Amino acid sequence: MKIKINDYIFNRNTSNLIIIIISMTILMLTSTLEMIFYPDIAYSYTFNITNKLKQQQRQNSYQTNISQPSIITTNNQKKSSDDLNNNLTKVVILTFGDGYQSQFTLAKPVLDKYGYKGNFFVTCNKVGTANKMTWPDLVHLYKEGNVIGSKTVDYGTKAMGGKDLNHLSAQQLEFEVGQSKQCLLNHGINTTFFAVPMNVANNNATVINEIAKYYTLAINGHADQMYLHCDGYKKNSSQTDCRTYFDNGTLTFANRYSVGEWSEQHIKNRNSYNDSQMFAKFIAAVNSQDKFNRNGVSAIPLIAYHDIVLLPDITISSEPSATTLNLFKTEMKYLHDNGFNVLTFYNLGYNEKTNAFYIKQNQ
């Protein structure tokens, strides 16, 4: 019997192809049935594969145009509410002052990328003016879960005459503090948070008392940390809690109406810093909590931003508190890659009995 080699090869290849097609069909049918009857298993398999790929990408992606100190990055997956409250070790609060338009157009997309929320403090009569956010911008931020706080009615306008809160009449002080809350409320924003312009009234009982009528917390000072028990200012005070007044009636150094923040200023005390130097300062600031939070959170760095600018390096800007978009992106990525939990003032509560702040559960 004579066998044609070409026909044999053709028939054999055809048979193999049919077998492959049948096998693939069975595999696809099996996968489809698994997804129908065992969706959790199918999802878990897909999630694990995708997550491994993302982890590998993260390990290879930590690069920036800004030179920086050597750092160890960690995997920072989004944490559930239970994880957030049970395993807090690194926390930070981000504040944004003076309502710059760039905070909405440039900073917000970066925050959204990582699921972060911020605390935005605005002066009512400057909303909608040149380079400032509009009311629709603020309402949008508010509805998305960001904190919108008051920073007086007229700060930085002719109406205030260049004065700070320490140099206003009683009537003016009441208007600037109380009516700024009402102004926000008139636009659908209910706030209990206030920021003192220039952070200069933490030792003024008159101003503190006026703020306390309308708000539960106020930024009113400069500090590396916000201590939840107000007990970390050893050089300035012997207090062990956050009561507003000592038993003898004198104002305390630190209380819920004089919370301190670390402001990102590239021009300070006649010194000027570039992006690389500011990034190093940022890393030091957010990690300064480590020695206080070994047994749970007792200190939180508050990082304050103002104008976000499109410049290759911040040394070009004459705004002392400006931050380049490139630097801001790098800092947010650092928080993400190193496992920081970004909180807002909504996450904080105050215990009237112990006179201490605490992190709310399931927030």
Instruction: Render pLDDT for 309-349 as a digit per residue (tens, 0 to 9).
Output: 999 999 999 999 999 999 999 999 999 999 999 999 999 99
Does 153 reside within a domain?
A: yes
Q: How many domains does the chain have?
A: 2
Kindly report the three-state secondary structure assignment for every residue of the chain: CCCCHHHHHHHHHHHHHHHHHHHHHHHHHHHHHHHHHCHHHHHHHHHHHHHHHHHHHHHHHCCCCCCCCCCCCCCCCCCCHHHHHHCCCCEEEEEEECCEHHHHHHHHHHHHHHCCCCEEEECHHHCCCCCECCHHHHHHHHHCCCEEEECCCCCCCHHHCCCCHHHCCHHHHHHHHHHHHHHHHHCCCCCCEEECHHHCCCCCHHHHHHHHHHCCEEEEEECCCEECCCCCCCCCCCCCCCCCECCCCCECCCCCCCEEEEECCCEECCEECCHHHHHHHHHHHHHCCCCCCECECCEECEEEECCEECCCCHHHCCCCCCEEHHHHHHHHHHHHHCCCEEECHHHEEEECCCCEEEECCCC
**92 contacts 340 by C-beta, under 8 angstroms:** yes
Does 68 reside within a domain?
A: no
Does 73 reside within a domain?
A: no
Mean pLDDT computed over 123-150: 97
Do 192 and 300 share a structural domain?
Answer: yes
Q: What tens digit of pLDDT does each residue of 158-182 get?
A: 777 788 999 999 999 999 999 999 9
Confidence of residue 43 (pLDDT cuts 50, 70, 90): very low
Does 332 reside within a domain?
A: yes
Domain extent for 39: 5-54
The tokens describing 267, both together, are: 């021009």
Rounded to whole angstroms, what are the CA distances from 251 to 203, 255, 256?
A: 7, 9, 12
Does 198 reside within a domain?
A: yes
The tokens describing 226, both together, are: 């916000």
The CA distance from 208 to 179, in Å, is 16
The CA distance from 308 to 106, in Å, is 7
Calculate what percentage of the chain has a pLDDT beyond 90.
Answer: 69
Of residues 183, 318, 199, 342, the one with CA closest to residue 258: 199
Does 72 reside within a domain?
A: no
Do 237 and 104 share a structural domain?
Answer: yes
Phi-psi region of 46 (alpha: psi -120 to 50; beta: other; left: phi over 0): alpha
Rounded to whole angstroms, what are the CA distances from 24 to 20, 21, 57, 328?
A: 6, 5, 30, 49
Do 226 and 120 share a structural domain?
Answer: yes
Do 206 and 109 share a structural domain?
Answer: yes
Cα-Cα-Cα-Cα dihedral sign, residues 77, 335, 330, 107: positive
Do 88 and 48 share a structural domain?
Answer: no
The tokens describing 328, both together, are: 């801001």
Among 91-95, 212-216, 235-239, 300-304, which is the least confidently predicted range?
A: 235-239
The CA distance from 155 to 164, in Å, is 8
The CA distance from 286 to 292, in Å, is 12
Q: What is the pLDDT of residue 47?
A: 36
Q: What is the pLDDT of residue 83?
A: 43
Does 27 reside within a domain?
A: yes
Q: How far is CA 51 from the centre of its chain?
A: 24
Do 122 and 23 share a structural domain?
Answer: no
Do 85 and 15 share a structural domain?
Answer: no
The CA distance from 241 to 148, in Å, is 27
Do 160 and 18 share a structural domain?
Answer: no
Q: What is the pLDDT of residue 55?
A: 40
Do 248 and 209 share a structural domain?
Answer: yes
Do 97 and 240 share a structural domain?
Answer: yes
**90 contacts 338 by C-beta, under 8 angstroms:** yes
Confidence of residue 22 (pLDDT cuts 50, 70, 90): low
Q: What is the pLDDT of residue 54?
A: 40
Q: Decide if pLDDT at 290 tops 90.
A: yes
Question: Which CATH number covers residue 346?
Answer: 3.20.20.370
Q: What is the pLDDT of residue 25?
A: 52
Burial profile 252-268: b = 16 or more Cβ within 10 angstroms, e = fewer: bbbbbbbbbbbbbbbbe
Does 74 reside within a domain?
A: no
Q: Decide if pLDDT at 26 tops 60.
A: no
